[in-house]
Amino acid sequence: MKPSQFFNHHPVIEDIQTSIFWSTEDVKWMQEALKLAKQGAEHGEVPVGAILVHGQQVIGQGFNEPIGRHDATAHAEIIALRDACTRLNNYRLPLQTTLYVTLEPCTMCVGALIHARVERLVYAASEPRAGMVGSQMNLPMQPFYNHSIQVNRGLCSEHSSQILKSFFRERRKLAKMKSK
């Protein structure tokens, strides 16, 4: 089902890469998540950004930062969820939140999204190696959870892949220079 069928009160934009119609809101928030991903790259972290939106307002955001935070769990999604709970001073998120993330979530992050009762997940690029929202498994579709998440994938996927590719290219270049 096309996202525009859920969000048809917004004007829609066609994503050239996926030929899916997205709302202008979706495009705007994913672009913000991509900016966060780039911030992560500037910090030497694998560039992944996430934004949690409720009622067209950002309630949490973050970028992948395990190195800087000395925290193996500091993925963009986890940071965005923690940011929201801290800002709201509540472990419960409001209903009808959407998480925009630039890369397909991992096992841990899908679990966290379910615990947090996020209503909708929109991600950009697929993660074929360990993505858990369709690539390796589709965890949100498992019937044993007591919460289900609506998933829309592929928004700005090409842009997100480019950010990741150029980050790894730069990192390889630096590693080569160091080894000389």
Q: Which residues are catalytic?
A: 77
Q: What is the Cα Rg of the chain in Å?
A: 16
Interacting residue with Zn ion among 46, 93, 109, 149 (CB under 5 A): 109
Phi/psi of residue 102, each to 5°? Answer: -80, -10
Closer to Zn ion by CB, 15 or 106: give it. 106
Residue in 162, 154, 156, 152 with CA at minimum distance from that of residue 3: 152
Establish if 75 lies at the interface with Zn ion (CB under 5 A): yes
48 binds Zn ion (CB under 5 A): no
Do residues 154 and 18 lie in contact, with contact meaning Cβ atoms separated by under 8 Å?
yes
Q: Is 106 annotated as a binding residue?
A: yes
Q: Does 106 bind Zn ion (CB under 5 A)?
A: yes
Q: Beta-strand (E) ranges in 4-125?
A: 12-14, 21-23, 49-54, 57-63, 97-103, 120-125
Distance in Å, CB of 80 to Zn ion, minimum:
11
Interface with Zn ion, residue 153, by CB under 5 A: no
Residue 85 labeled ligand binder:
no
CA within 13 Å, CB half, 142: 13
d(CA 108, CA 123): 15
70 known member of a binding site: no
Per CB under 5 A, residues contacting Zn ion are 75, 106, 108-109
Annotated binding site for Zn(2+): 75, 106, 109
Annotated binding residues, written as ranges, equal 75, 106, 109
